[in-house]
Structure 1
Amino acid sequence: MEFVPSGKELSHFPFLKKAQDPIRSRFASLGTLLGTQKGHTLVSHAVVRIKEAVSQKKTRAPEVHDSPEDEIAAYALARIIVSCVNDKQLIDRLTRHEAERAYYFLVNEEEWNSRYVQDGGEYSRLWVAIADEMGIRITQDRMPFPDYVELVAPLHDDRYRLVNRRVERGVVAIDKNERYELLRERIRVLLRRDLPHRVPKEVCEQLAPKAAEIKKIYQEQMLRQFGKVEEGAFPPCMQALITALAAGTNLTHAGRFSLTAFLHNIGMNTTGIAELYARSPDFDVEKTMYQVEHITGRGGTGTEYTTPACAAMQTTGLCVHRNALCERVSHPLSYYKAKKSRIPRRLPVPENKGPQPNGNPDTSQKI
């Protein structure tokens, strides 16, 4: 008999088809819904969901405060709002948050449905239903080799490397906890693959105030996270681009885009970014400012771009001078954050007040 998740379970896993179908029929016209009080309430709940995704203080136990239908609707609206903002890193944050949320409920769900034995192992029917919809073939303590390789490709934990796994007859050995972790990664990938949605312009216009609020909160959070620009913490790829500029070398389009997005993401203003390009042989003030404003979201489209990941930098030939830290990260911003945390904080220099009456310098100020 087909397994049917409860309303509570659907609110925990709102990306399931059985969760989405009733919402589509209930809210047939999104534009009409947004003009109602109910729509305003659901949008507010969606904004809270996004704020939780970008917050550095993660709640250890996600909670469901509303009815299952409202929770599912808030989930869908959150994805629509970030699609209107159209910032790649913000979208990544939300999809990772939703995957982590699903992982928590999978691991800690107390009211498992009836269990059954499949291929010699005991599973909850909910787990099997989710894995099946996510396209994961599950067996007892093992996974088909092609499925495993696809799932672990973005993961950097050494224990997932094939050299550290037992592979036999086309299957890879896994344990129970890893089963949940791999499903979490699969959920993240599939949720990310669907974004950004193609949201009608009029809907984004209705959501513009909330989108602007989210964008401001996210930018402030990014600035708090990265703090003052510290060039000594730049990854080798960005240092190479800046060195090339200083030498009067023309950068490729991919190089200009990557450097501009990186500098913007870590908090440098548009004027400061444009000044870096002044040594370029083909420097043109108006053209440079136009390009910088376009990449940083201050141009006509309002789309704010994120630094390309390391994989994309490799594809465009911009990944150079890799070092040990590069091997442990997958994004230039992750490198910058990790490297900056290792740089000792500069303590304030005491003001020199000149010789004191006894002829000795002032040592009253404690550092």
Structure 2
Amino acid sequence: MEFVPSGKELSHFPFLKKAQDPIRSRFASLGTLLGTPKGEVLVSHAVTRIQEAVTPKKARVPDVSETPEDEIAAYALARIIASCVNDKQLIDRLTRYEAERAYYFLVNEEEWNSRYVQDEGEYSRLWTAISDELGIRITQDRMPVPDYVELVAPLHDDRYRLINRQVIQGFVAINKNERYELLRERIRVLLRRDLPHRVPKEICELLAPRAAEIKKVYQEQMLRQFGKVEESAFPPCMQALITALAAGTNLTHAGRFSLTAFLHNIGLDTAGIAELYARSPDFDIEKTMYQVEHITGRGGSSTEYTTPACAAMQTTGLCVHRDPLCERVSHPLSYYKAKKSRPLKPAPAKPQVADKNLKTPE
């Protein structure tokens, strides 16, 4: 018999096709819905969902206080609003939040695991339904090598590297906890791949006030994380790159990449990054904007890059003028946050050792 999730279960996993079908029929015209009191309520729920996604310290237990239909509608509207805002970092946070939310419900609802457990092992019918729809092939606690390699590519944990795994006859061994973690990653990737939606202009205009509200909240979160951009708090490596730009030195590809990614990660917008590059005597606005948009993921590429760590900066020869704070951090972003939050105190002076060859003045 085909497994049919309950309304409650669908509200916990609103990305499933069975969750979306009733919403499409209930809210056939989005433009009409947004102009109603019910639409305003749902949009408010969607905005709250996005705000929760961009908040660093999230609630331990996700809030589910509305009807299943309204929860699913709020999920869909949150993705539409995020698409109208069209900020890659915000979209990344939203998709990661939704994946974490699904992970929580799947792992912590013991009722489901006891209610829908199958005869062969601990695979619940709910797990099977979700994994089948998302294309996860894990059976008998193992997964085909090609599927595994594709799935773990974005993960940086060494334990997921194929060289550290047990591989038997073309299958990778997967334990129970990892099974849930891999499903979470699959949810994140698929949800991210689908955004931003191509939302009609008139819909984004209707949602413009709420989109502006989201932008304000997100910018405030960025300011709390990194604060106002202060060049004086840049690590020595980034200071050196900016100095080289001003001196007319052509930066290496690694140098341009590292500086652009760093400036983007601390919250500087594309125009602000281009303004720094404008200090170069041979500044080319079109070339610069193309490179900046590629690295920040705003151009044709869907990849948004992160600042290389200190070890990578050393490898490319960009780690220069190290100072005492450099010895305490392993990433340029960590240096920047530490420098802004608590300025480095000067190291205590070393006690002077008397030189035996110096005579005491009489």
Q: Is the Cα–Cα contact under 8 Å of residues 80 and 199 in structure 1 kept in the other structure?
A: yes
Q: Is the Cα–Cα contact under 8 Å of residues 307 and 332 in structure 2 kept in the other structure?
A: no
Where does 1:49-88 land on structure 2 (aligned, <5 Å)? Answer: 49-88=49-88
Shift of 1:138: 1.7
Q: 2:343 maps to which residue? A: 346
Q: 1:188 maps to which residue? A: 188
Q: Is the Cα–Cα contact under 8 Å of residues 54 and 90 in structure 1 kept in the other structure?
A: yes
Shift of 1:159: 1.1
Shift of 1:282: 3.3
Unaligned runs of 5+ in 2: 309-314, 320-329, 347-362
Distance 1:79 1:253, change over 3 A: farther
Tell me the amino acid that sits aligned with residue 212 of structure 1: A
Comparing 219-228 and 32-41, the one that deviates more: 219-228
Aligned length: 320
Q: 1:153 maps to which residue? A: 153
Q: Scaled by the length of structure 2, what TM-score is found?
A: 0.77
Shift of 1:342: 5.0
Q: 1:97 maps to which residue? A: 97
1:116 maps to 2:114: no
Q: 1:337 maps to which residue? A: 333
Q: Is the Cα–Cα contact under 8 Å of residues 307 and 333 in structure 2 kept in the other structure?
A: no
Shift of 1:253: 11
Can you list the C-alpha shifts for 1:229-272, whole angstroms capped at 9, x where unaligned? 36665596x56753541331457999879856753552558897
Can you list the C-alpha shifts for 1:147-179, whole angstroms capped at 9, x where unaligned? 111111111111111222111100111110000
The secondary structure found in structure 2 opposite 1:117 is coil
Distance 1:321 1:212, change over 3 A: farther
Q: 1:177 maps to which residue? A: 177
The secondary structure found in structure 1 opposite 2:118 is strand
The secondary structure found in structure 1 opposite 2:119 is strand
Structure 2 Cα separation of the partners of residues 255 and 233 of structure 1: 15
- Root-mean-square deviation (CA), in Å? 3.7
Percentage identity across paired residues of the two chains: 76
Structure 2 Cα separation of the partners of residues 209 and 124 of structure 1: 43
1:126 maps to 2:126: yes
Structure 1 Cα separation of the partners of residues 134 and 332 of structure 2: 34
Where does 1:158-169 land on structure 2 (aligned, <5 Å)? Answer: 158-169=158-169
Q: Is the Cα–Cα contact under 8 Å of residues 261 and 307 in structure 2 kept in the other structure?
A: no
The secondary structure found in structure 1 opposite 2:111 is coil
Structure 2 Cα separation of the partners of residues 7 and 271 of structure 1: 46
Q: 2:322 maps to which residue? A: none
Q: 1:18 maps to which residue? A: 18
Shift of 1:122: 2.4
Q: 2:304 maps to which residue? A: 308
Distance 1:235 1:61, change over 3 A: farther
